[in-house]
Structure 1
Amino acid sequence: MVEKKKKKKKSQLPFRLNILFFIVFLLFSVLILQLGVVQILNGEEFQAEIERTTKDYTEIPVPRGKMYDRNHNLIVDNEAHYSITYTPAKGIQAIERLKVAEKLAQYISMDSNDDLEGVTLRNKKEYWYLKNEEEAKSRLSAEEAEGMEPGEQYNTILERIKKTEVDDFTKHQLEVMAIKKEMDKAMTLTPQVIKNEDVTPEEFAKVAEHLGELPGVNATTDWDRKYPYDDVFRNFVGSITSESQGILAAKEEYYLTRGYSRNDRVGKSGLEEQYESLLRGRKEKIQYTTNKQGKVVDSEVAVEGERGKDLVLTIDMKLQKEVNKILKEELNAIIKENPYKNRYVDTAMAVVMNPQTGELLSVAGQTYDRVKNEFKPTGLKTLYAAHPPGSAVKGATVLSGYESGVIEPGQSFYDAPIKIAGTPEKSSWRNLGRVNDYEALAQSSNVYMFYIAMRMGGDFNYQRNDKLNFDPSAFRQMRNYFSQFGLGVPTGVDFPYESAGYEGPAPQAGNLLDFAIGQYDTYTVMQLAQYVSTIANEGYRVRPHFLKEARMPVPHEDKLGPVYKSYNTEVLNRIEMDQKYIDRVQEGFRRAFQTPSGTADGYFADKPYNPAGKTGTAEFEIYEDGNMIYTENLSLVGYAPFDKPEVSFALIVPHTKAGNSINNKIGERILDTYFQLKKERKNPTKDTSEEQTGNEE
């Protein structure tokens, strides 16, 4: 019986084991099936997740385009220099940047005053925080932190770091902070300059040798602008922002929407600003591949970089240097001749251009600093400093008289002092007797212009000591005529800014008479140049411009590439006046320069280049110690040759005293120089090279 029970137990044991084995088999089968599903159906997806990488792009700046004068002499160049940059990967933490900064500080010096003085108290506290993180965090209790955002927690901790705890850093530690401060400005995958001024060859070599231990750091080259002609024309060229400035904050949105980065250098003044879109070039685009940890695993050039386009300007640098020299010498002569009498004069300005094309050949100015006893270039005043020009505008006055119908060609008036009831007597520089329109321009009759103004105001029956019948709308009518020449309106010059001059506010009869002789509204020298060019150019007003053409960059740095775009003559308007009227004013201008009675015949009558033009003198009041002192603005406009004009000019010398002819002397020397240079270029000697060093100013 017992034996039978044992047999029964033995038979039950294998059965239970079989059930257990079966269950285990089922479990393994399910596991194998699941692994199969993962491997076969989802294997590629999971493998892709394991190998997942991200492709990002960064853009590397390229050198800006260069600038040349009309004869292809280099005005603005690029000068390469060493630069140390930092390009952070994604997700880089502050402590990691600090470690890189500490290593980098072993190879470069940041001991300049600007760098070390730029380290703020907050920079020091941030450094202390990273070096003593546990202790720093202990200064904020868990209860306090509970109701704060992370940024608020961090700022509170920094506030609780005492100033005394960060006062004793070594010079080396301060240099580390200066480096990290620059690194903190960097945006992901965007190069940030750490040091580019005075990077020594030794520093460059050490950094380049240890790049493997300096993640994100690069030893590369950057560019600064170089000016072979020193200060000659420099104020028109303008400037660009520094690496630390980046794009201009006032125009941030403008630049960012056009593909700029915040640390890109841009033109901030002058032609650098005006033609930023041409000069900037195309940045090199690098594609970076990063893994899940944010480490760069591959990179390749996606878009080749291209240097900015080169600009060929209309300026003749040799003429520019000479005009500056002329202005300086003539100013110096009258100041030294009589320092007290000419104590108010300090500036002379001139514009030389091609009246048919609007090409600006020279735009110059010189100002004498009496405190420093030196001259400095102030050519920008030709664009923004407006002055009453005097009789130089009488050509526009006569043409206004013709077109409005208040005078006829050849009409004459007796030049004797004008006296209107209740006002001071007005006259010409001397009593000229009876003069017609030709003689009024040649001899600069104020009275002739007064008759035009009175008639345009509605009074055709002037009687001495009577009041005038006057319609104030005559002011607007005459200004409308003047604006056709560019007087009182923007010239349209291709520069970031220019003044349109100033309109006198009181529309009274006496002021209209002053307006007619250029002693009420004010104009810039650029406006006067456009005005005389319009008369020389048969009534066609053209836009003055600095840019002649843009050229494609080429690998050979010493050569100009093919033309990208030419900037040709742009006619703004043709004055609404009969050609026979323009012809008469042109003849009046010729007589002013070439006939014995002309106001400038002593300087231009015997010139072979057949000039024409108009002198101007405007009284200008200066108050000194409560006393009113009269000074004179001397101006001159002209062109040559009379029968086929190729050059025109305008100039003003404000605040002189009576008795000198500096305007005529400057104008004569400018035209003499222009035609002499033309002759030299037509018949070059063996040595025709132009010096590009030294400052004639």
Structure 2
Amino acid sequence: MKKKKNKTHIPFRINMLFLIVFILFSTLVLQLGVVQILNGEDLKEEINKKEHVTTRIPVPRGEIFDRHGSPIVQNNPKYVITYTPTQATSQTQKLEVAKKLAAHIEMPQDAIDDISVRDKKDYWYLSKELTEKDPYKGYLTKDEKAQEGAYQLLMDRVKEEDIKLTDQEKEEVAILHEFLKAYALSPHSVKDKSVTKEEYAKVAEHLYELPGVDVRTDYERSRPNGETFADTIGSFKEGIPKEEKDFFVSRNYSLDDRVGTSGIERKYEMDLAGQKEVVEHTTDKAGNLINSKVVHEGVPGNDLVLSIDLEYQKKVDEILQEEFLKAIQKDPYENRLMDKAMAVVLDPNTGEIYAMAGQHYDREDGEFDNVPNINLYNAYLPGSTVKGASVLTGLDTGVISKNTYLKDETIYIAGSQSKSSYKNLGTINELQALELSSNSYMWKIGMRIMGNPNYVPNQTISYERGSYQKGVNYFNQFGLGVKTGVDMYPEESVGVKADPKDTIAGQAMDHYIGQYTGYTSMQLAQYVATIGNGGYRIAPQIVKEIRAPESEQGKLGPVVRGMETTVLNRLSISQDHINHVKKGFSLVFNSSKGTASGYFNNKPYVAAGKTGTAQTKKWLDRGDETYYGVDKENLTLVGYASEKSLDQPDVAFAVVVPYVGIKADHSINKLIGERILDEFYKRGEEKPKEEEEEQEGSSDETAE
């Protein structure tokens, strides 16, 4: 009986086993069906999934020319070796290619010198991996190796002395350093300086064994006329500034793109940069490149034509240097603290700047530096050059009228030091006050605006609330104390301003003789141009027009955009009063008593303007973090001129020479002014010729 019973159990177990196997296989078949029928297309799509990656490739940057088409900044072609990794490229693959490339090129010495300890460690680690050796052996335990930060721990423990490199390996490290900086599918320059023809040819010949490496022609910026105007042209370098990252990235710039960082290069970056070539890369799921196609052809950057006359700019620079040295040689002790001279020459009707010259003299090496931007950023007390604005303020406020006679005399105010002109000039009117440069007359204008219609010696004076600001507001209309609107980056200085709350009566009076607040020479040029052109404050322009690029270097393409004249404001002063002050300016330059008499007579042009001398101090360091002031003078000159009539001037200018010796006998401001006008009319602004080309292309005791 027992034996029979055992036999009946065996088939049952076998049947159960078959049933389980059947169920499992049925489940498997069902699952395969689901995969094949329901999810098959999705899985197939996942397997064959492709990614599309867009790369933007920079194009040649626009060039910069002067108003006559002379090149200021050019692009010079050069050979470049680049590397473009795919998304699937491993670090060891990069090392393999770096080793092969090192056999064909020699990296610049500065790249070798700049190899860091971390560069060496990365190279050491990847070399170990490449030779299938365990880089962790001898440095990390088994448990440490399993930790998340094992690589960094290894880098910390490997010492520089553990890594011995041959000269050839140093070349490989320098190349690997550049490879590791490259973004996937974006060309990165490995060597862009001094690539020889031989290197170019060797690499081109072996591209088949250098995946990702390419050779191409790029460009580098050059200045065929040296450092002339370079300060204003500005900087151009690789790598977008950190502080402007968001601005540039939002405009499709890469972090390592070359951009303008200052001056004209930055101000007109969007015009100069052009439109990048857009390439679409297709990769498989693993990141391997399948193909690439250009979806948007690149457009080279536009060229800039400046309003600057390059040869005239050079001549003005030369004039500043020559007169500066003459002044030092004539009075070496008195002029021992002179270190700068500057001048701006512009068209008073359009704002176009013909020359913007600044010279800094380094007394240690006896050399000059071209620093034209000091015309925009350095502000100095201007002295009597502002007296035209003072008289116009007096006329427009009604505190004086035409032909108002006032006595030039020493001003005595209770509780204050006396104030006087360089000599008592007698009873004079407003035109004579300009001609002879009377301080007393201007102070009396200021006192009247402050609420003192009649001067009484040795009495206190009224100082009505808001009266100082009223005078400031009038000066602002001329461009004094406000931005001129010149197209420059970073933006210009507004000068040295004073807080009305801190301004006392005597300082408010000095405002009218240019002895209280400081202005830049560009502001002074705009001020005199506003008077010269009849009352229109016009923004100065460095860029004249923007032109499309030409394939032939040095040629100008058609005009894309001409810079229109920008009128910032019209003086709220009658034309009659403006013309009246212009008569006073003419007396300054052309009468026998004028403070610029003898400098602008018997010329092929007529000129008018105003001289200025401001008392100032040059502060010097004692060497113990304390300072002392040395009394000096700022010599200034503003004016405008015409070949025909001063009603329609061709040119306006401003000259500033700070820290001249008080006893120095050298009128450097007038000599510079005379020479820059002489040179201007000697060269001539041949307007008909230009139009032809455009059609083809598309103070106390102060004597002044």
Same fold (TM over 0.5): yes
Contact 1:366 1:376 in 2 (8 A): yes
Among candidates 655, 661, 664, match of residue 659 of structure 2:
655
1-structure distance, mates of 2:457, 2:554: 71
2-structure distance, mates of 1:175, 1:269: 34
Match of 1:507 in 2: 503
Cα RMSD (Å): 2.6
Letter in 1 for 2:283: T
Among candidates 160, 173, 179, match of residue 163 of structure 1:
160
Contact 1:472 1:508 in 2 (8 A): no
The correspondence of residues 369-388 of structure 1 with structure 2, limited to 5 A, is 369-388=362-381
Match of 2:89 in 1: 92
The answer on 1:479 being equivalent to 2:472 is yes
Match of 1:367 in 2: 360
Letter in 2 for 1:484: Q
1-structure distance, mates of 2:492, 2:108: 43
Letter in 2 for 1:80: P
Among candidates 572, 576, 597, match of residue 601 of structure 1:
597
The correspondence of residues 418-457 of structure 1 with structure 2, limited to 5 A, is 418-457=411-450
Match of 2:257 in 1: 264
The answer on 1:465 being equivalent to 2:458 is yes
Residue by residue over 1:195-225, the C-alpha shift from the partner in whole angstroms, topping out at 9 and shown as x without a partner, is 1111111111111111111111111122111
Among candidates 60, 73, 76, match of residue 76 of structure 1:
73
Contact 2:123 2:176 in 1 (8 A): no
Contact 2:330 2:666 in 1 (8 A): no
The answer on 1:664 being equivalent to 2:665 is no
Question: Aligned in 2, Cα 1:289/1:628: closer, same or farther, shift over 3 Å?
Answer: closer
Among candidates 101, 105, 108, match of residue 104 of structure 1:
101
Question: Aligned in 2, Cα 1:46/1:482: closer, same or farther, shift over 3 Å?
Answer: same
2-structure distance, mates of 1:623, 1:562: 52
1-structure distance, mates of 2:357, 2:510: 29
SS at match of 1:324: helix
Contact 1:83 1:195 in 2 (8 A): yes
Report deviation, 1:45: 6.6
1-structure distance, mates of 2:205, 2:665: 72
Report deviation, 1:257: 0.5
Report deviation, 1:66: 0.8
2-structure distance, mates of 1:240, 1:164: 39
Q: Which moved more, 1:53-62 or 1:382-391?
A: 53-62
2-structure distance, mates of 1:295, 1:213: 17
Letter in 1 for 2:237: T
The answer on 1:517 being equivalent to 2:479 is no
SS at match of 1:383: helix
Structure 2 regions of 5+ residues with no counterpart? 1-24, 691-704
2-structure distance, mates of 1:645, 1:681: 14
The answer on 1:632 being equivalent to 2:638 is no
Contact 2:95 2:127 in 1 (8 A): no
The answer on 1:644 being equivalent to 2:637 is no
1-structure distance, mates of 2:416, 2:135: 83
SS at match of 1:632: strand
2-structure distance, mates of 1:99, 1:212: 14
Report deviation, 1:181: 0.9
Residue by residue over 1:340-359, the C-alpha shift from the partner in whole angstroms, topping out at 9 and shown as x without a partner, is 12111121100001111111
Q: Which moved more, 1:621-630 or 1:656-665?
A: 621-630
Letter in 2 for 1:271: I
Match of 1:4 in 2: none
Q: TM-score, normalised by structure 1?
A: 0.89
2-structure distance, mates of 1:528, 1:193: 47
2-structure distance, mates of 1:539, 1:682: 26
Match of 1:200 in 2: 196
SS at match of 2:342: strand
1-structure distance, mates of 2:382, 2:685: 32
Structure 1 regions of 5+ residues with no counterpart? 1-26, 685-697
Match of 2:10 in 1: none
Match of 1:298 in 2: 291
Letter in 2 for 1:655: Y
Letter in 1 for 2:123: Y
Letter in 1 for 2:68: N
Letter in 2 for 1:649: F
1-structure distance, mates of 2:298, 2:534: 47
Report deviation, 1:35: 10
2-structure distance, mates of 1:486, 1:458: 26
The correspondence of residues 565-584 of structure 1 with structure 2, limited to 5 A, is 565-584=561-580
The answer on 1:309 being equivalent to 2:302 is yes
Contact 1:111 1:175 in 2 (8 A): no
Match of 2:694 in 1: none
Letter in 2 for 1:227: R
The correspondence of residues 293-372 of structure 1 with structure 2, limited to 5 A, is 293-372=286-365
Residue by residue over 1:258-308, the C-alpha shift from the partner in whole angstroms, topping out at 9 and shown as x without a partner, is 110111100011100000000001111222222344332322222111110
2-structure distance, mates of 1:195, 1:523: 47
Match of 1:589 in 2: 585
The answer on 1:540 being equivalent to 2:546 is no
Letter in 2 for 1:202: E
Q: State the aligned residue count.
A: 651
1-structure distance, mates of 2:121, 2:264: 43
2-structure distance, mates of 1:549, 1:610: 30
SS at match of 2:684: helix
The correspondence of residues 39-54 of structure 1 with structure 2, limited to 5 A, is 51-54=48-51
Among candidates 55, 58, 68, match of residue 55 of structure 2:
58
Q: Work out the percentage of aligned pairs sharing the same amino acid.
A: 45
Letter in 2 for 1:136: P
The answer on 1:674 being equivalent to 2:680 is yes
Report deviation, 1:54: 2.8
Match of 2:136 in 1: 137
Match of 2:383 in 1: 390
Letter in 2 for 1:71: H
Contact 1:352 1:648 in 2 (8 A): yes
2-structure distance, mates of 1:331, 1:681: 32
Contact 2:69 2:305 in 1 (8 A): yes
Letter in 1 for 2:452: D
Contact 1:345 1:654 in 2 (8 A): yes
Contact 1:472 1:507 in 2 (8 A): no
Residue by residue over 1:397-436, the C-alpha shift from the partner in whole angstroms, topping out at 9 and shown as x without a partner, is 1111112221111101111211222322211122211110
Q: Which moved more, 1:429-438 or 1:625-634?
A: 625-634
Contact 1:595 1:605 in 2 (8 A): no
The answer on 1:174 being equivalent to 2:173 is no
Letter in 2 for 1:664: K
Letter in 2 for 1:436: N
The correspondence of residues 233-312 of structure 1 with structure 2, limited to 5 A, is 233-242=229-238, 246-312=239-305
Question: Aligned in 2, Cα 1:160/1:635: closer, same or farther, shift over 3 Å?
Answer: same
Residue by residue over 1:599-620, the C-alpha shift from the partner in whole angstroms, topping out at 9 and shown as x without a partner, is 1121113223111100000011
SS at match of 2:74: strand
Among candidates 397, 409, 412, match of residue 416 of structure 1:
409
2-structure distance, mates of 1:126, 1:604: 72
2-structure distance, mates of 1:83, 1:323: 39
The correspondence of residues 540-559 of structure 1 with structure 2, limited to 5 A, is 540-559=536-555
Question: Aligned in 2, Cα 1:389/1:557: closer, same or farther, shift over 3 Å?
Answer: same
Match of 1:690 in 2: none
